[in-house]
Chains A and B, each alone.
Chain A
Amino acid sequence: MDSDLKEVHPKIIQALLDADSDITVEDALENEMVLNMGPQHPATHGVLRLVLRLDGETIVACVPELGYLHRGYEKLAENISYYEFIPHTDRLDYISPMANNVAWVLAVEKLAGLEAPPRAQYIRMMVAELARITSHLVAIGSFAMDVGAMTVFLWTLREREKVMDIWDILCGARFTNSYTRIGGVANDVSSEALAAIKLFIDQFDDNLTECEKLINTNRIFVERVDGVGVISKDEAIDLGFSGPNLRASGVEYDIRRAQPYLKYDQVDFKIPIYTEGDCLARYFVRVDEMRESAKIVRQVLEKMPEGETILNKPKKVLPRKTEVYSKMEELIHDFMIVNFGINPPAGEIYHSIEGSKGELGFYLVSKGDGHPWKCKIRSPSFNNIQSLPKLVVGQIVSDVVAIVGSIDPIMGEADK
């Protein structure tokens, strides 16, 4: 951290000065300063930059600056086909790429009027829930590390590593998966992958309890985050919170329940709600959600039907590579889809899923071409970061780290 007014753009300074600063702190020191935090600060979870105005150690105003990871994915999406955008969704929320893949193909399928076969839908549900587990593991681990509990990070990442290995068996990639396809998934789950998932899920609850034991009774952790960064129910809604952060403020809103997609209406799970709205509540929501996700994966493993994993719709869905090499018709369809795209009918849709960070939605406008006319990514992290000024004002500098960790922003998603 370093305070240098010259490097801060005058408009940012103006925004800092304009921000509400009528807080009353007992015996407030009259030495104001501007502190620049980030974009290369280990506790800001990526390239998030916060410009803070301080009175002593108390934060008077905060202006987040975004855009350090802006790659223009919305522009890119307008210029490439629906298929070509699948790998790019991996790079949005890079902690849970599978969930983004699922969100994108569901949006495109809604636009094109397709529906994946049941087995593919169950597989998507399974990978989306595993992605949620990995995301929350990283969130909790790094949150704990930010406030000084180092061991938890190593333990949660050990669990995440197991899921990475599952991804490797499942689709050949550990990190940027690009596993889903329009109309299904890239390949069926092998029995080896199923066994690995089963083993992971069976051990998961115990391993999570171990991680929890490290922090739930740790006074350093609990007292550092308890009652810090409180946001009320109404404010959370007003500021556009979604996902675990919103549920920590006592709003029972989960898209899996409110507007079920895939087969979420067929499985049994609870929506954890906490009403405190502070950092600790946001941590508890994530832990409980992981247990629920594990429960969903267990049910999926039981309920998953046999059958096709990709739709047989030659003009819309890419055929399998083995067929492309051996059959004339498939070769033609493959050529047409790759070169001209799937041309969904003209229209517009908004489809969102309950991503790991919150409501991840895609707004697509089609003019009947192979590429979208407009693609808007409604990213949860963007909206969650917006509430940072509200959360940190009145707290002290060291709380900023805890608050940023607790709302778990991913800059790849916030900056698009």
Chain B
Amino acid sequence: MDIKELVPQKLKEQFNEIDFKVTEYLDELTIKLPKEHIVKVCEFLKKDSDLEFSLCLDITAIDWAKRKNRFTVVYHIYSFKNNFRLRLKADVDESDCAIDTVSSVWKGANWQERETYDMYGIKFNDHPDLRRMYMPEDFEYHPLRKDFPLMGIPGSIPLPKK
């Protein structure tokens, strides 16, 4: 069976109660799911012997600015066994700006989640080391949010004291 059909089918068999939205664009499979289920779905995708998505390529987020669910957290995972790349998505609203961490599933997700937290201000629950990745620790803003101006905010990064 084609892997593009196998992944959604397996997920639906395993998690009957979750509402998966499966889309395909330019030969890339995207599966959208509610954010509460992200960890167990990821765990299943990694552990299942037919799928084995063992490499977490990338985690990032999209800021949709004016939409109701303002952020979408995007995961790119890869399966060596099937030579297949899958994209997972979960919406996060600004009022409850947090999602569970998947760093327990893939260790490599640790820094990528830190980067997403730094750039978008999305908190990752139970993350082992949720510090900022690039910006100084006492920086107040999240630069990749759409309401952060391109030129920066003057005075937001104070010069070091002599």
B107 touches A239 (CB 8 A): yes
Measured CA separation A18–B60 after assembly (Å): 26
Measured CA separation A415–B115 after assembly (Å): 10
Q: What residue of chain A has the Cβ atom nearest to residue B64's Cβ? A: A373
Query: How many residues of B sit at the interface, in one of the four size bands?
Result: 35 or more
Residues of chain B in range 65-88 having any CB-CB distance to chain A below 8 Å: 74, 76, 80, 83, 85, 87
Q: Does B44 contact A (CB under 8 A)?
A: no
Measured CA separation A251–B135 after assembly (Å): 34
Choose, from A206-214, A262-270, A324-332, A343-351, the stretch at the interface.
Answer: A343-351
Partner among A72, A76, A383 whose Cβ is within 8 Å of the Cβ of B108: A383
Residues in B with CB closer than 8 Å to A70 are 134-135
Known contacts A239-B108, A253-B80, A350-B28, then 10 further A-B pairs from the complex at CB < 8 Å, ordered by chain A residue: A9-B137, A66-B134, A67-B133, A76-B150, A237-B80, A238-B106, A240-B106, A349-B26, A350-B58, A386-B110
The 4 nearest A-B residue pairs measured at CB: A240-B108, A67-B134, A70-B134, A376-B60
**Looking at chain A's contact residues, is the secondary structure mostly helix, strand, loop, or mixed?**
mixed
Kindly count the residue-residue contacts between A and B in the assembled complex, taking CB atoms under 8 Å apart: 95
Query: How many residues of A sit at the interface, in one of the four size bands?
Result: 35 or more
Q: Does B144 contact A (CB under 8 A)?
A: yes
Residues on A facing B (Cβ under 8 Å): 9, 11-12, 15, 18, 66-67, 70, 72, 74-76, 78-79, 110-111, 235, 237-240, 251, 253, 258-259, 347-350, 352, 359, 361, 363, 365, 373-374, 376, 378, 382-383, 386, 415-416
Whether A15 touches B131, Cβ cut-off 8 Å, given contacts A74-B144, A350-B28, is yes
Residues in B with CB closer than 8 Å to A240 are 55-57, 106-109, 112
Residues in A with CB closer than 8 Å to B55 are 237, 240
Measured CA separation A79–B25 after assembly (Å): 24
